Amino acid sequence: MKKFLVLMVVVSLICFSTTAMAEMEIKLGVVTKPGSAQNIAAEKFKELIEQRSKGKITVKIFHSASLGNETEILQQVQMNTIQMAVITGGPFDTFDPIARVINYPFLFKDNAQADEILDGPLGTKILKSLESSGFKGLCFSENGFRNLTNNKRAVKSPDEIKGLKIRVMASAIHKAIWQALGANPTPMPWPIYTELEQGVIDGQENPLWVMEVYKFYEIQKYMTLSRHVYSYHIDVASLKWWKILDSKTQDMIQKAMYEAAVFQRKQNRDKNAARLKFLKEKGMQVEENPNIGAFRAKVAKLKDMDLYSEPRVQALLIEMLNATQ
Ligand code: EAX
C-alpha cells in the first residue's frame, strides 16, 4: 500500500510537471533584417524552444526595426512589453556602462579568446550586472570583429582617418574610439544605408556580414580589416518576465538561447572567407594588413578616460585587460 502511494505521488508529480508548463508566446525584437547575425541567433532559438517545449512556447520575432531602434527595443524589454531581444553590444552602454568593457578596442585577439572570456566568469559578471537595469542577460551571440569602410580613400593607418565622417553606434566608447583615431564620429541608430548613399557620412564600421547583407559594397569603395572591436550581441530577457517564470522554463530558455548563440557564432565565422572574396569581387578595395600598431597606440589612452571611471567598471576593465593582453 505504502509503495503504491509513493508510486501515485511520483506519477502525479511527473504528470503535473509536464502539464505545468504554461502556454506562452515570447515576443523577441531585433533591429536587423532576416539573414543578419541577430536574426540567425533568434531563429535558431525559436526553432529549439518550440521543439523542446512541444509547441507550448512559441516565439514571434519582430525584425527590421519594426519595434524601433535598439534603444527602443531595449526599453520595451525592460517594461516586459516584449520579453526578449538579440542586440549588438554598443547600445547597451547607455543602460549600463559595464557593457563598455567588452567594446574596448583590440581587447580580444581572436574568436577563441572571445568565447573563452564571454562564456566564462567575466562574461557572467557582465550579464549579471545588467539585472540592475531590468535585463536578464542570458548569453552572448556575435556580430563579429568590426572593420572600417569609407568612400573617400584607402586607409592603412590612422593618418588617413583624419577628418573622415564615420557613423558610430549609440555608444560612448565607440564614439571615443573614433575620436581618438582622428575621425569625426557621428552617432546614428541602425540602419544607415541612405546616409552612406547620400554622403551624410563618409564611412562606417561593422563586421563583414553587414557589408554583404546590407549591400554596402554598392556605396562604399574602401575597406580596412581593422578588427578594432569584437562586436557581441547580448541575448537578453526582461527581468520582470524572467522572475515570474518557473525554474524549468527558465532553464529551457537559457539552454536553448545558449545553443542558438553557439550555433550562430560558428556559422558567422565559417562564412567570413567567402564574404571577403565576394566583397572584393564586387569591387571593394580591401586593405588586409593595416598598421594595427599605429591604431593601438592612438587608442591606448582610452582606459584612463572618464568612460571607465566608475569603480566597478574600472575594476572589470582591469580584470578583462589582465585576462586578455
Ligand atoms: O548589426 O548598428 C550597428 O552598427 C550594428 O552593428 C548593427 O546592428 C548591425
Picking from 211, 217, 230, the residue whose alpha carbon sits closest to that of residue 141 is 230
Ligand 1 binding pocket mutation candidate from 39, 88, 174 (most atoms within 8 A of CB): 88
pLDDT tens track for 265-315: 999 999 999 999 999 999 999 999 999 999 999 999 999 999 999 999 999
Cβ atoms < 10 Å from Cβ of 194: 9
Task: Answer whether 39 contacts ligand 1 (Cβ < 6 A).
Answer: no
The answer to whether the CB of 53 falls within 8 A of the CB of 47 is no
* 168 CA closest ligand 1 atom index: 4
pLDDT at 9 over 80: no
Mind giving me the DSSP string for 186-206? EE-PSP-HHHHHTTSSSEEEE
Q: What is the extent of the structural domain holding 117?
A: 24-144+231-271
Ligand 1 binding pocket mutation candidate from 30, 40, 190 (most atoms within 8 A of CB): 190
User: 230 CA to middle of ligand 1, Å?
Assistant: 12
pLDDT, position 3? 54
Same-domain pairing of 39 and 185: no
Same-domain pairing of 208 and 297: yes
pLDDT tens track for 141-161: 999 999 999 999 999 999 999
Rounded percentage of the chain residues whose pLDDT exceeds 90: 92
Same-domain pairing of 94 and 239: yes
Q: Please tell me the distance from the alpha carbon of residue 51 to that of residue 57, in angstroms, as a whole number.
A: 9
SS3 266: helix
Task: Answer whether 40 contacts ligand 1 (Cβ < 6 A).
Answer: no
* 205 CA closest ligand 1 atom index: 4
pLDDT tens track for 191-236: 999 999 999 999 999 999 999 999 999 999 999 999 999 999 999 9
What is the DSSP code (8-state) at residue 65? T
- Cell 567570413 belongs to 272
The answer to whether the CB of 63 falls within 8 A of the CB of 33 is yes
Task: Answer whether 190 contacts ligand 1 (Cβ < 6 A).
Answer: yes
User: 68 CA to middle of ligand 1, Å?
Assistant: 14
Same-domain pairing of 205 and 297: yes
pTM of the complete model: 0.92
The structural domain count of the chain equals 2
Q: Please tell me the distance from the alpha carbon of residue 46 to that of residue 44, in angstroms, as a whole number.
A: 5
Same-domain pairing of 32 and 152: no
Residue 203's DSSP bridge partners are 150, 166
Does some domain include residue 136? yes
Same-domain pairing of 239 and 299: no
The answer to whether the CB of 211 falls within 8 A of the CB of 220 is yes
User: 15 CA to middle of ligand 1, Å?
Assistant: 45
